[in-house]
């Protein structure tokens, strides 16, 4: 008779933390894409170099907010 854990060995191992990291990475990419779309729409007069510096500053603030090393 089964003790209730019979099929647990047949399931694939899923690390919870790797899912959290993947979700944070996906959220970061979506935030960067949204910021670039906003930057292109609202600040279209900026040069490419200024946009790049603004994006780098935004990435640093985003990493600090998400506690990503």
pLDDT digits (tens, 9 = 90+) for 2-19: 556 666 666 666 677 788
- Cβ atoms of 62 and 32 within 8 Å: the answer is yes
How confident is the model at residue 16, as a pLDDT? 74
Average pLDDT, the chain: 83
Q: Tell me the pTM.
A: 0.67
Report the alpha-carbon angle 33-35-38, nearest 5.
Answer: 110
- Report which DSSP code applies to 1: -
Q: State pLDDT tens for residues 31-46.
A: 999 999 999 999 888 8
Report the alpha-carbon angle 26-18-32, nearest 5.
Answer: 15
pLDDT interval class at 65 (50, 70, 90): confident
């Amino acid at each position: 008779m089964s003790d209730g854990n019979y099929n647990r060995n047949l399931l694939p191992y899923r690390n919870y933390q790797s899912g959290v990291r993947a979700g944070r990475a996906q959220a970061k990419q979506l935030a960067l894409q949204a910021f670039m779309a906003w930057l292109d729409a609202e600040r279209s007069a900026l040069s490419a170099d200024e946009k790049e510096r603004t994006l780098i500053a935004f990435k640093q603030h985003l990493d600090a907010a998400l506690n990503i090393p």
